[in-house]
A and B are shown apart, each in its own frame.
Chain A
Amino acid sequence: MLARLGLLALIFALTSPPASAQEREDLPKWKIDPYTQNDAEAYKAAGYVRYHRVMVHEDLSVTEVMQVLGDLEMIWVETAHFVIGCDLPEYKVPGDKILKERIADEYARLREKLPELPKKTPKKLDRWLRVHLYAQRCEDIYARLQEVLAVTDASFPAGRNQLIDGEYRGEGPYLGQRGKFVVLLTEKKSTLHRFANTWCDGNFQSESPIVHNFFQQWTLLYGTSPQLAEGYLGNDARLHANLIHGLVHAMLGGYKGYLHDLPVWLREGIAHCLVNEIEPRYHNFVQITDQFPNEKKLWIWEPRVRNLAKNKAATPFAKVSTWMTPDNFRIGQHLNLWSRVHYLMQLDPAKFASFVAKMKAPIKVPGGTSVTAEQVMERQAEAWKLIYDMEFEAFDEAWTDWVLDTYSKK
């Protein structure tokens, strides 16, 4: 009997393919990842949780999203900390040496996770390869920000109403957010705008990326497209820098749960520092009135700040530290805030992490009201005293010495 059952099982196995293979056959070709064949074991080994059937947040499925966005060949993947929707087209890597080297390095790391990738870095990045590269970039910046904040996944609660080490650190495991960070990378800007019109309160500007807080779901979204900024983001190095900048802001917003924003000098400063580690040629800005801040050699910031320090032309930190929102910011404000944060981050990374943590701890406000800018400034004074306990003038002197010692002259 057992032998007959074994035979039946064998026949069944031969005539009926495994469920995943059957599912693969049902999928259109563009949905099949050529590097994992959508094999769960292969993509999980590469760090993915699932392909295609993902939730944007707990109340919004990809099926619902695609009903509105239409027949786009949008690839949806879920990684450890992100949900990514991407319909970026194939991309020919341009003859930019810096970009080529970076992509070659990223590709080599990717290949360790996806052994089916060809050995040699391709000159053209196909649609799935772009998804894999961007997924890796997202997870890279997540890990780097965790390092800056001196936290790990274990630092955050699994869900609501849980304290960690007796401290409130948000509503969920993703830096304190309940939902994974959502990233949209769309070929057309109209796709982003249609999404924003439907699910983000119509809150978008024609040439800017979309940022949205699904506050009931404790989920933050960042969406960008090569068509934005009148096509300026069409180059992969620029799009990458733009994504990192936007994600750092979103993740800092979500850190310990999105209850209030950090002052712009601090969040923009951290974003500049982390973008500069990857792509210092293409700075991004929460706001700037200058028309061409990255042109010619203007993107090389160290000698510019060095001159500001040397000529006592820098804005005092007493003023920089009051920049809560970017009101008519010009490049001067960005140079000042970037360098102050750059200094603080390298001076004592652990102290810097404590400072940001203190800044993002909940500020008690009466029910139904929001945290005000004044309350954030009060928190900052308290956190500065607690962590750094240094007069601003003394801080400026120490910063000036450091800049003159370390920043390049050219």
Chain B
Amino acid sequence: MNWDYPVYGVETKQGETGASHRTGALSVGKALPYEQAFLSIAGDDPRPLLILRECEHCNGTDNALLSKTEGNERTLLMARWFHCVKLPTHVMKEDHPYTKLFADYKAKDVPHLFLVSRDGKVSTPLKGDQSPSELWAKMEDVLAYDYKKSPKAPLKEISKLLMKYDMLDAEEALIEERMQLELEENGPKSKKLKKMRAELDGVIKERENLRKREAKLMDLGLFRKKVEKDVVISNLTGEEIDALQN
């Protein structure tokens, strides 16, 4: 999974060579209002968010999201339509910049996972012990809000493609290994090498075709491909949000 690990207020400075580089996080030392925390985490990514809070128990794993027994392929695929964000264990401390995301919950009910639409209007908290089917249903709800197409049909097709990918990967690894060993054993003039090279070209071409098909299937059509920085639902006035962002 491609996780994002946001840190509030990372400073960027111009270096001597003119290139910008990050120098570290601003020392905030206080919790940000919910709206600002959400905007900071969402960044410029237009996808809905899947926010996972790490805890001592799950210890950096994806256990709160993935099942130990079934259905992980579907979960991982669906997660690709989300901007996946991991927050550290100390996010629950009262002075952590992002702690207000969890402020509405009693200590024992604090969610492990959030699924949130990109404008913040649809928010689904999960405790991390949900069944895969429950998780998928909630993910579909949020996806339906932010994307034009339903993921159901593409998911079936992409699952088939993944099986083909696995077969092609195994085939490619085998051909490459055989080619290298053939080169070592019988030198570059071996007739078998030519045949194997043609086989390999076939595999590479087939994979390219699969990739194009997959890219097409993955495009569910976001309603908002570009995001405005103040689209999160908010009780603050526009001026207050501007003040926070500056």
A residues adjacent to B (C-beta < 8 A): 59-60, 64, 67-71, 187-191, 193-194, 197-202, 206, 215-216, 227, 289-292, 298, 304, 307-308, 311-313, 330-332, 368
Contacts and interface: CB of A to CB of B under 8 A. Distances in A.
Given A198-B24, A198-B25, A201-B22, A311 B186 contact: yes
Which 9 pairs across A and B sit closest by C-beta, in order of nearness?
Answer: A188-B60, A311-B187, A70-B90, A307-B184, A291-B173, A70-B88, A194-B5, A313-B187, A193-B5
Given A190-B86, A197-B10, A198-B10, A290 B177 contact: yes
Given A188-B60, A199-B23, A308 B177 contact: no
B5 A197 contact: yes
B188 interface: yes
Nearest to A290: B176
B24 A70 contact: no
B68 interface: no
Contacts of B185: 307, 311
A307 B88 CA distance: 51
Name the residue in A64, A194, A289 with the highest tally of chain B Cβ atoms < 10 Å from its Cβ.
A194
B89 interface: yes
B222 to A, nearest CB: 23
A292 B172 CA distance: 11
Contacts of A330: 176, 180
Given A216-B16, A227-B60, A194 B184 contact: no
Contact of B183 (A68, A206, A313, A368): A313
Interface residues of B, number: 36
Interface string B5-41: 1110010000111100111110100000000000000
Contact of A190 (B5, B16, B177, B188): B5
A206 B24 contact: no
18 contacts: A64-B27, A70-B89, A71-B90, A190-B88, A191-B60, A194-B5, A194-B7, A198-B10, A200-B22, A201-B21, A201-B22, A202-B22, A206-B3, A215-B15, A290-B176, A290-B177, A330-B180, A368-B17
Contact of A331 (B17, B24, B180): B180
Contacts, number: 93
Nearest to A370: B17
A298 B180 CA distance: 11
B88 A194 contact: yes
A190 B54 contact: yes
A69 B25 CA distance: 11
Interface string B184-211: 1111100000000000000000000000
Interface of A is mostly: loop
Nearest to A189: B60
A177 B186 CA distance: 47
Contacts of B16: 216
B23 A308 contact: no
Contacts of B27: 64, 67
B169 interface: yes
Given A188-B60, A190-B3, A312 B187 contact: yes
Name the residue in B17, B89, B172, B177 with the highest tally of chain A Cβ atoms < 10 Å from its Cβ.
B177
B237 interface: no
Contacts of B177: 290, 292, 298
A307 B186 CA distance: 8
Contacts of B6: 197
A311 B5 CA distance: 50
Nearest to B52: A190
B2 interface: yes
Contacts of B246: none
A198 B59 CA distance: 21
Contacts of A198: 7, 10, 22, 24-25
Contacts of B17: 368
Nearest to A306: B184
Given A64-B24, A298-B177, A332 B183 contact: yes
Contacts of B25: 64, 67-68, 198
Nearest to A298: B177
Contacts of A289: 176
Given A194-B88, A307-B184, A308-B184, A199 B3 contact: no
A205 B240 CA distance: 36
Interface string B148-191: 00000000000000000000010011001100100111111000
A289 B180 CA distance: 13
Contacts of A199: 22-24
Contacts of A368: 17-18
A208 to B, nearest CB: 13
B173 A193 contact: no
